[in-house]
Amino acid sequence: MAAPTPRVRVPATAKPGELIEIKTLISHEMESGQRKDASGATIPRKIINKFTAQFNGKTVFEADWNPAISANPYQSFFYKAAESGDFTFIWKDDDGSEYKATNKLTVA
């Protein structure tokens, strides 16, 4: 499996008080641990189980994911822009791996 690749869409600018939509997608196989390989051995579970979005270090959105989440999970949410700053998006995998992406937002 190739390394998971996060993709994020955040508007570059917003007006104060504007509600913006943030869209995220990460390429990941999300192996449930219930399938078997060609030799009949169970393929170990490997899913992203937590997604967190932070703005200027403060958590603004969080989701716990389970094995029923599809491969290449997509997550969108809305955020009310109040100030300029940086978004940090974190996906946590069963094996302890973390995948991160950052985006800037300018409020003017």
Model confidence pLDDT, tens digit, residues 1-54: 578 999 999 999 999 999 999 999 999 989 888 899 999 999 988 899 999 999
37 inside domain: no
CA distances from 108 to 20, 54, 104 (A): 14, 20, 13
* Neighbour-count burial of 45, counting CB atoms closer than 10 A to its CB (0-12 exposed, 13-18 middle, 19+ buried): middle
Number of separate domains in the chain: 1
Q: What is the CATH number of the domain that holds 92?
A: 2.60.40.10
40 inside domain: no
Q: Can you tell me the mean pLDDT for 57-65?
A: 97
Instruction: Count Cα neighbours of 51 within 13 Å in the Cβ-side half-sphere.
Output: 20
16 inside domain: yes
Please give the Cα distance from 73 to 25 (Å, whole number).
6
Position 33 scores a pLDDT of 85
Q: Given the DSSP bridges, would you call strands 74-80 and 85-93 parallel, antiparallel or unpaired? A: unpaired
85 inside domain: yes
**Could you report the per-residue pLDDT of 77-86, keeping only the tens digit for each?**
999 999 999 9
pTM of the model: 0.90
What is the residue whose two structure tokens read 């393929």?
A: 43
Position 1 scores a pLDDT of 59
39 inside domain: no
For residue 105, the Cα-to-chain-centroid distance in whole angstroms is 17
Residue 10: domain span? 6-32+45-107
53 inside domain: yes
